[in-house]
Chain A
Amino acid sequence: MSPRMALFLREAALRARQGGWAVGAGLFLILGGLAPLAIGNERELLAEAGPGLLWLILGVSVFLGVEGLFEDDLTSGAFEQFILSRSSLAEVMLVKLGVAWVFLLIPLLVAAPILLLAYEASLAGILALILASPGLVFTAGVVSALSSGQRRGAPLLVFCAMPLIIPALVFGPQAGTGGLVPFLILAAYSLQAIAICPFLSAAAIRLQLT
């Protein structure tokens, strides 16, 4: 078994057990389901406001799902062992965030169509969700790495990371009405996050260790 495969299997077992994915999907469903009670049940209004609202809710759900991602490994000293290994810490972070993304995305893929249909919004939003979600998870991962080891990490995470996902908040709701451009921008947003965030979160963890 290659070191990367071993790391992948370890992360998958941890993510399945830690339950961040359930927090993310549960929050998304509940907040999305309750929102019409607050904004009224006029169909035009819901179809108009729905997508924007869902993206905001999605951001919060992903952040709270990613919260505490590095906590156990930081306090148990596992990160020190990763530094003293043949894999670079950035590579370890790439695998960790990648697995966290898969585990958050799969339940969201079930929840999102239900809410989009209920709001009578365009189902193209699902494609936008798939394209933007790596960006959301990786960005949240950096802030999670910075705030790990802090008490009240979750509110801090939402507070600090929300401004970083503005591209997704602006272009996500335009999916289905704005042509091809929103999809391209969301994909670009995710690609840059995948390229940069493993290094940033590795640096954040190193900072915590010294």
Chain B
Amino acid sequence: MALSLKDVEVSRAGRPVLAGVSMHMAPGSAVMVRGTNGSGKTSLLRAVAGLARHEGEIYFTRGVQVLDPAFMRSEEIHLVTPDGGHNPRLTVEETAQFESGFYGGDAEDALLQLGLVPQAEERVGALSTGQRRRLSLLRLLIDKRALWLLDEPFSGLDEEGRSIVRTLIEAHRSRGGVVLIALHDEEDIPGARTLRVEAA
């Protein structure tokens, strides 16, 4: 799967935040979106996921075939946000069981990989920031999708957590997956291109 952006303009709360973004991402490629706070990194990711309004063209292709954005949303896009997207009242175990039933995949193995087995009985709301961050990676492991949109995937993670994220990204790229990452300047993904965005 490949992702193309042509002259994309994204607005947040009715005001344009970034404009004129064009790029092409081939299968197996990764792009780091860098910029200051408020420059629209998250908004760009949300626009690609179809969760925010945008001007210009965002399209997905497989070979010569253009893919329907609705199909991409339901089958091929993972968005990992800092909040994680997990209800704070459920335990880690319940969350994992729900996701494995909802997306179809093996939850036990995924929890093991993320090192969250000791926290299985804890509520998501009671987890530390780093543990919640790890849990947010769960669906990447459970459901194999082609396009990953990662919003600050390293924030709050310890060295072990960071290496898990790096390994996941590496494995995903070697399978031909595409990764778009919103990232601060101090972090780096080997072999990834950089897209610098500035507030319009």
- Please report the C-alpha to C-alpha distance between residue A18 and residue B89 in the assembled complex, in whole angstroms: 8
Least distance between B92 CB and chain A CB atoms (Å): 13
In the complex, whether B41 has a CB less than 8 A from a CB of chain A is no
Q: When the two chains form their complex, are residues B98 and A10 in contact, meaning their CB atoms are under 8 A apart?
A: yes
A10-B90, A85-B74 known; A77-B84 Cβ under 8 A: yes
A76: chain B residues within 8 A (beta carbon): 83-88
In the complex, whether B78 has a CB less than 8 A from a CB of chain A is yes
Least distance between A1 CB and chain B CB atoms (Å): 4
A77-B83, A84-B78 known; A6-B102 Cβ under 8 A: yes
**Interface size band for B:** 20 to 34
In the complex, whether B57 has a CB less than 8 A from a CB of chain A is no
A87: chain B residues within 8 A (beta carbon): 102
**Interface size band for A:** 20 to 34
Least distance between B164 CB and chain A CB atoms (Å): 20
B139: chain A residues within 8 A (beta carbon): 81
A6-B98, A10-B98, A209-B51 known; A83-B73 Cβ under 8 A: yes
The residue on A at minimum CB distance from B46 is: A80
In the complex, whether B121 has a CB less than 8 A from a CB of chain A is no
Residues from 71 to 108 in B contacting A, C-beta threshold 8 Å: 73-75, 77-79, 81, 83-90, 94, 97-104
A80: chain B residues within 8 A (beta carbon): 49, 51, 79, 81, 85
Report which B residues bind A (CB closer than 8 A).
49-53, 73-75, 77-79, 81, 83-90, 94, 97-104, 139
**Other 11 A-B pairs with CB < 8 A, given A6-B100, A84-B78:** A1-B101, A2-B101, A13-B89, A73-B87, A77-B85, A83-B73, A84-B49, A84-B51, A84-B74, A87-B102, A209-B51
Report which A residues bind B (CB closer than 8 A).
1-3, 5-7, 9-10, 13-14, 17-18, 72-73, 75-78, 80-81, 83-87, 209-210
The 5 closest A-B pairs by CB, nearest first: A6-B101, A1-B101, A77-B85, A77-B83, A81-B85
